[in-house]
C-alpha cells in the first residue's frame, strides 16, 4: 500500500518536473508567435487577450528587405549543402571503404574545422576575400559555410556507408560491376534516407550561421540571422515586427527538424552516437 503510494507520488513528481521544463522550453516559442499578431498599440496594455492583426507580417515582409534576406539565406544555405554533398559523399565513401595512408589524420582534419574558432578563420578571410573580390558574394559565403556543412556530411555519411555490409559489395563486384557503378547504383540508394536527413541538418546549421554572414557580407548578401539583428540594435518600439523577424527565421527549421527525427541523434553527434 505505502509502496504503491510512493510509486504514485514518484510519477506525479516526474511529470511535474517534465512539465516545468516543457514550459521553459516551449513557452518562448509560443509567446513569440503570439505577439506577431499583436498590434503595437496593444503591446503594452494586454497580455493574452487582444485583437489579432497581420500588420506586423505586412510591415516586415513587404516593408523591409527581410524577404530578400530570407531568399539569400535559402540560396547560400542550399548552395553550401549542395557543394558539401557533391564533394563530401565521395570522400565519406573513401573513408568508409578504402584503407590508405593518413586516412584517420585526414578524417580528423576535416572534423577539426567544426571546432575551429570562427573568429580566427574570419579575421584573415575578411582580408583575403576582399583581395579576391569575393567579399559580400554568394560564392564567398557558400565557400566558408563548408566549414559548417562539410565535417557534418563527411562524418555522418561515412557512418552510413560503414553500416552497409561489405558482402553486398563483394557480390556485386563478382558480378562484374565497377566500384563506381556499385557506389552509384547500389550504395547511394541504400544510404539515401540517412543522406537526405544529414543534408537537411546541414542546411539547418548553415541557415543558423551568424558570425560568417555578419562579418563576410554587407549590402549585397544578407541572411535572416543578420537581418533580424537590426531589430535588436535599433531602439525599436515595434516589438511585433521583431517577433515576426524571429518567427519567419525560426519556423522553417522547426518544420525541418520534424522531418529528420529518426536521424537527428546521429547527425548531431557527427555519427558518434548511432541512434
Partner 1 sequence: MSEETIKKSLKTGSRGAETSLTKVHWTVKARPYFIMAPCLLITVGILYPFASAIFYSLTNYSFRNPTWKFIGIRNWVYLFTDPDFWHSLLVTFKYAAATTIPQMLLGLGIALLLSKENWFTKILKVVLIFPLMIAPVIATLIWQLMTNTSVGILEKFLNLFGVYGFPWAASSHTALFTAAMIDTWVYAPFVIVLVSAGIQSLPKSPFEAARVDGGSAWFTFKTLTLPMLKPFMYIALIFRLMAALQEFAIIFALTKGGPGNTLMNLSLSGYNKGFAFLKFGESLTFVLVLWVIIYFISKKLVGDYLLTQKKAAGQEN
**Least distance in angstroms from the C-beta of 271 to partner 1:** 10
Q: Which stretch binds partner 1 (CB under 8 A): 53-61, 63-71, 145-153, 191-199?
A: 145-153
**Least distance in angstroms from the C-beta of 258 to partner 1:** 7
Nearer to partner 1, 62 or 115 (CB): 115
Nearer to partner 1, 15 or 220 (CB): 15
Find how far residue 52's CA is from the centre of its chain: 31
Distance CA 23, CA 31 (A): 11
Q: Which of 76, 91, 156, 199 binds partner 1 (CB under 8 A)?
A: 91
Distance CA 34, CA 69 (A): 23
Q: Which residues between 50 and 89 bind partner 1 (CB under 8 A)? A: 83, 86-88
Q: Which residues between 229 and 258 bind partner 1 (CB under 8 A)? A: 229, 231-232, 239, 242-243, 245-246, 249-250, 253-254, 256-258
Distance CA 267, CA 194 (A): 9
Coil, helix or strand for 123? helix
Asked if residue 184 binds partner 1 (CB under 8 A), the reply is: no
**Least distance in angstroms from the C-beta of 237 to partner 1:** 9
Torsion angles phi and psi, residue 222, rounded to 5:
-145, 135
Q: Which of 6, 8, 9, 22 binds partner 1 (CB under 8 A)?
A: 22
Q: Which residues between 256 and 275 bind partner 1 (CB under 8 A)? A: 256-258, 261, 264-265, 268-269, 272-273, 275
E strands, the chain, in order: none
- Take residue 254 and report the three cell numbers written for it: 522547426
Distance CA 180, CA 160 (A): 17
- Take residue 154 and report the three cell numbers written for it: 563527411
- How many degrees, rounded to 5, is the angle at CA 240 between CA 238 and CA 245? 100
Asked if residue 47 binds partner 1 (CB under 8 A), the reply is: yes
Q: Which of 4, 7, 124, 175 binds partner 1 (CB under 8 A)?
A: 124
Asked if residue 203 binds partner 1 (CB under 8 A), the reply is: no
Asked if residue 49 binds partner 1 (CB under 8 A), the reply is: no
Number of residues that bind partner 1 (CB under 8 A): 94
Here the contacts of 102-107 (C-beta below 8 Å, separation 24 or greater) are 107/154, 107/155, 107/158
Element (H, E) at 217: none
Distance CA 22, CA 30 (A): 12
Q: Which stretch binds partner 1 (CB under 8 A): 26-34, 49-57, 58-66, 190-198?
A: 26-34
Q: Which of 99, 104, 175, 235 binds partner 1 (CB under 8 A)?
A: 99
Torsion angles phi and psi, residue 159, rounded to 5:
-60, -40
Q: Which of 69, 76, 110, 152 binds partner 1 (CB under 8 A)?
A: 110
The binding track of 146-175 with respect to partner 1, each residue x by CB under 8 A or -, is xx--x---x-----------xx-xx--x--
Q: Which stretch binds partner 1 (CB under 8 A): 54-62, 64-72, 108-116, 190-198?
A: 108-116
Distance (Å) of CA 218 to CA 36, 117, 138, 213, 227: 27, 21, 11, 8, 10
Question: Is-contact 164 191, C-beta < 8 A?
Answer: yes
Amino acid at each position: 500500500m505505502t509502496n504503491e503510494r510512493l510509486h504514485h507520488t514518484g510519477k506525479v513528481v516526474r511529470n511535474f518536473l517534465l512539465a516545468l521544463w516543457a514550459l521553459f522550453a516551449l513557452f518562448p516559442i509560443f509567446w513569440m508567435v503570439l505577439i506577431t499578431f499583436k498590434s503595437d498599440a496593444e503591446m503594452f496594455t494586454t497580455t493574452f487577450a487582444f485583437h489579432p492583426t497581420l500588420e506586423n507580417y505586412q510591415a516586415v515582409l513587404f516593408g523591409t528587405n527581410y524577404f530578400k534576406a530570407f531568399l539569400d539565406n535559402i540560396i547560400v544555405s542550399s548552395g553550401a549543402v549542395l557543394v558539401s554533398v557533391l564533394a563530401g559523399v565521395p570522400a565519406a565513401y573513401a573513408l568508409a571503404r578504402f584503407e590508405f595512408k593518413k586516412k584517420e589524420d585526414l578524417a580528423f582534419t576535416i572534423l577539426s574545422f567544426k571546432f575551429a574558432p570562427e573568429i580566427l578563420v574570419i579575421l584573415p578571410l575578411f582580408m583575403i576575400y576582399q583581395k579576391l573580390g569575393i567579399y559580400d558574394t554568394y560564392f564567398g559565403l557558400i565557400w566558408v559555410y563548408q566549414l559548417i556543412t562539410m565535417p557534418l556530411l563527411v562524418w555522418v555519411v561515412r557512418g552510413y556507408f560503414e553500416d552497409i555490409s561489405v558482402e553486398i559489395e563483394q557480390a556485386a563486384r563478382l558480378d562484374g560491376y565497377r566500384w563506381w557503378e556499385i557506389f552509384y547504383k547500389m550504395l547511394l540508394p541504400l544510404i539515401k534516407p540517412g543522406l537526405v536527413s544529414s543534408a537537411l541538418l546541414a542546411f539547418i546549421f548553415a541557415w543558423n550561421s551568424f558570425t560568417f554572414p555578419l562579418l563576410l557580407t554587407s549590402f549585397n548578401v544578407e541572411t535572416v540571422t543578420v537581418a533580424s539583428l537590426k531589430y535588436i540594435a535599433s531602439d525599436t518600439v515595434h516589438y511585433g515586427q521583431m517577433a515576426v523577424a524571429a518567427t519567419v527565421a525560426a519556423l522553417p527549421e522547426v518544420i525541418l527538424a520534424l522531418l529528420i527525427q529518426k536521424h537527428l541523434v546521429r547527425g548531431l553527434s557527427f555519427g558518434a552516437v548511432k541512434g
